[in-house]
Structure 1
Amino acid sequence: MAQIDINTIKKLDKEHYSVHEKVVTTYSVFKVDEKKYVQFDTYGKSSREIPGKISQSIQIDKESAIYIVDMLRREFHI
């Protein structure tokens, strides 16, 4: 599990890219000490050794959500 830290996000231009397979994703919303978080959980391929097991979890708070939305607007020209 990881929480996105906007102070360390950097754009990285790689030499090789591949498009990943789409997987089942869920999200949860919760508060800790009155601070709201959104957590995305991905479940990996159905052919995994343990189907239905969470593969990755990413948490974002309001500050990182604002940063990510702004970045996506710039990158996709929306």
Structure 2
Amino acid sequence: MAIIRKIDELDLKANARHSETHGGWSIQGQDGEKFLQINTVGSADREIPGKVSQTLRLSKEAVEQLAELARKHL
């Protein structure tokens, strides 16, 4: 699991194709701080479909930064 407090722009050379899967969110607490947690699950063709695959926890500051990026770029 990763806690993200700041989001930096990356200069990615390749734009890899991604498969689709299901994701979900929850609000989680840790050490008195609240985080937006986003989980993705393994796609249907994975060895264990539906198993949590990735987990990200975003701090309040990272969520605000992500919202601003979405408003600006999408």
Both proteins in one fold, TM over 0.5: yes
Q: Which moved more, 1:24-33 or 1:61-70?
A: 24-33
Structure 2: gaps of 5 or more residues: none
- Please, which of 35, 39, 42 is the counterpart of residue 40 of structure 2? 42
Matched residue of 2:8: which SS?
Answer: coil
What is the match of residue 4 of structure 1? 4
Higher relative contact order (CA 8 A, sep 6+): 2
Once residues 30 and 60 of structure 1 are traced to their aligned partners in structure 2, the CA distance between those partners, rounded to angstroms, is 10
Aligned-residue CA RMSD (Å)? 1.6
The equivalences for 1:58-73 within 5 A come to 58-73=56-71
If each structure's strand is expressed as a fraction of its own residues, which one has the higher value?
A: 2
Quick one: structure 1 residues 25 and 55, their matched pair in 2 at CA, closer, same or farther if it must change by over 3 Å? same
Matched residues, percent identical?
A: 32
Q: TM-score, normalised by structure 1?
A: 0.78
**Where do 4+ consecutive residues of structure 1 move more than 3 Å?**
none
What is the match of residue 11 of structure 2? 13
Report how many aligned residue pairs link the two structures: 74
Structure 1: gaps of 5 or more residues: none
